[in-house]
C-alpha cells in the first residue's frame, strides 16, 4: 500500500506546488499591470491639469491708483471710492499671465456724475410730429471717447434725384443723415420714423457710434420729413 500511495502523494504535492507558484506569478503580473494602469492615470491627470492651466483666462486682482487705497471692487460687495482723482491706474492680474495687447481696448475707464450713475450719452427727437414718433439716439459705448458725436439731419427730394431712401455718410464722430421727402410723388415715399431707425442701425459705420430706437407707442409709419425743420 505504501508503495502504491507514494506516487499518488508525490503527484498531489507537485500539483499543490505548481498551483501556489502560478498564483504567486499571477499576483505579481496583476500587480505590475495595476501599477502600469495607475501610472497611466497619474500621467493623464497631470496632462489634464496642464491643459486646464493653459486655458485659464487671466484673473483680475486689483487696481492700484497713484493716490488712495488699493481698489478691489470686482471682488467686493461694496465698491471702493476715491476722494482724489488719480492720474495713474495700475491693473493687476493673477501672476504669470500674459495679456493679448489687441484686447486692451476692452478696458474702459469712465467717471460718473454727481448722481454716481454711469449712463451713455443720448439725444431724443420727435421730428416735429408732436410726439407721434419719438426716436432715441444713444451712444454705443460709455466713456469720454464717445464725446463729440454729432448728428446732422437734412432732407431733400432724393427720389426725384434718382437716389430714393435715406442716405448716411460718416466722417469721424459726425453722422450725416439725409431724409427723402419724395416731393415728386406727393410725399408717398417720404422717409418714415421706422425707416430712419433702420437706416442708422443698418449702416455698418454709423451703428458703431450710435443706435436708434423708437419709443414705445410711437407710430413707425409716421412721415418725419413734413414736420421736420431742416436747419441746414
Q: What is the pLDDT, as a whole number, of residue 145?
A: 63
Q: Which of 84, 107, 130 is the last residue of a domain?
A: 107
Within this chain, do residues 201 and 159 fall inside the same structural domain, yes or no?
yes
Within this chain, do residues 99 and 130 fall inside the same structural domain, yes or no?
no
By CB atoms closer than 10 A (0-12, 13-18, 19+), residue 219 is middle
In a domain? residue 23: no
Within this chain, do residues 101 and 132 fall inside the same structural domain, yes or no?
no
Which string of b and e fits 74-108 if b means at least 16 CB within 10 Å?
eeeeeeeeeeeeeeeeeeeeeeeeeeeeeeeeeee
DSSP 160: T
Predicted TM-score of the model (pTM): 0.52
Within this chain, do residues 147 and 190 fall inside the same structural domain, yes or no?
yes
In a domain? residue 61: yes
Q: What is the pLDDT, as a whole number, of residue 1?
A: 35
In a domain? residue 15: no
Domain count, the chain: 2
Q: What is the pLDDT, as a whole number, of residue 209?
A: 92
In a domain? residue 232: no
Q: What is the pLDDT, as a whole number, of residue 164?
A: 86
Within this chain, do residues 62 and 133 fall inside the same structural domain, yes or no?
no
Q: Which of 61, 81, 107 is the last residue of a domain?
A: 107
Residue-number span of the structural domain to which 87 is assigned: 34-107
Within this chain, do residues 162 and 210 fall inside the same structural domain, yes or no?
yes
Within this chain, do residues 90 and 130 fall inside the same structural domain, yes or no?
no
In a domain? residue 29: no
Within this chain, do residues 86 and 48 fall inside the same structural domain, yes or no?
yes
Q: 112 Cβ partners below 8 Å, 6+ apart?
A: 118
In a domain? residue 73: yes
pLDDT tens digit string along 90-106?
888 777 777 777 776 66
Q: What is the pLDDT, as a whole number, of residue 15?
A: 52
Within this chain, do residues 101 and 130 fall inside the same structural domain, yes or no?
no
Q: 213 Cβ partners below 8 Å, 6+ apart?
A: 135, 136, 138, 197
Q: What is the pLDDT, as a whole number, of residue 5?
A: 43
Within this chain, do residues 91 and 139 fall inside the same structural domain, yes or no?
no
Q: Which of 75, 107, 139 is the last residue of a domain?
A: 107
DSSP 207: H
In a domain? residue 81: yes
Q: What is the pLDDT, as a whole number, of residue 69?
A: 78
In a domain? residue 163: yes
Regions of the chain with pLDDT less than 70: 1-58, 73-80, 104-119, 143-147, 230-232
Within this chain, do residues 43 and 77 fall inside the same structural domain, yes or no?
yes
Q: What is the pLDDT, as a whole number, of residue 112?
A: 58
Within this chain, do residues 126 and 165 fall inside the same structural domain, yes or no?
yes
Amino acid at each position: 500500500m505504501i508503495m502504491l500511495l507514494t506516487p499518488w502523494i508525490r503527484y498531489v504535492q507537485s500539483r499543490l506546488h505548481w498551483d501556489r507558484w502560478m498564483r504567486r506569478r499571477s499576483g505579481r503580473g496583476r500587480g505590475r499591470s495595476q501599477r502600469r494602469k495607475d501610472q497611466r492615470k497619474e500621467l493623464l491627470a497631470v496632462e489634464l491639469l496642464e491643459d486646464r492651466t493653459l486655458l485659464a483666462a487671466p484673473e483680475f486682482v486689483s487696481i492700484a491708483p497713484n493716490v488712495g487705497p488699493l481698489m478691489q471692487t470686482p471682488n467686493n460687495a461694496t465698491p471702493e471710492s476715491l476722494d482724489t482723482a488719480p492720474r495713474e491706474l495700475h491693473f493687476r492680474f493673477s501672476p504669470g499671465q500674459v495679456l493679448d495687447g489687441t484686447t486692451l481696448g476692452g478696458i474702459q475707464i469712465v467717471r460718473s456724475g454727481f448722481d454716481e450713475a454711469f449712463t451713455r450719452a443720448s439725444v431724443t427727437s420727435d421730428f416735429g410730429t408732436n410726439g407721434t414718433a419719438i426716436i432715441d439716439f444713444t451712444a454705443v459705448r460709455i466713456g469720454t471717447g464717445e464725446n463729440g458725436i454729432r448728428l446732422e439731419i437734412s432732407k431733400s427730394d432724393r427720389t426725384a434725384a434718382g437716389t430714393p431712401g435715406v442716405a448716411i455718410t460718416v466722417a469721424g464722430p459726425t453722422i450725416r443723415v439725409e431724409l427723402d421727402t419724395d416731393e415728386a410723388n406727393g410725399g408717398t415715399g417720404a422717409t418714415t420714423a421706422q425707416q430712419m431707425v433702420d437706416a442708422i442701425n443698418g449702416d455698418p459705420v454709423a451703428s458703431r457710434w450710435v443706435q436708434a430706437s423708437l419709443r414705445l407707442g410711437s407710430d413707425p409709419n409716421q412721415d418725419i420729413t413734413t414736420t421736420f425743420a431742416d436747419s441746414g
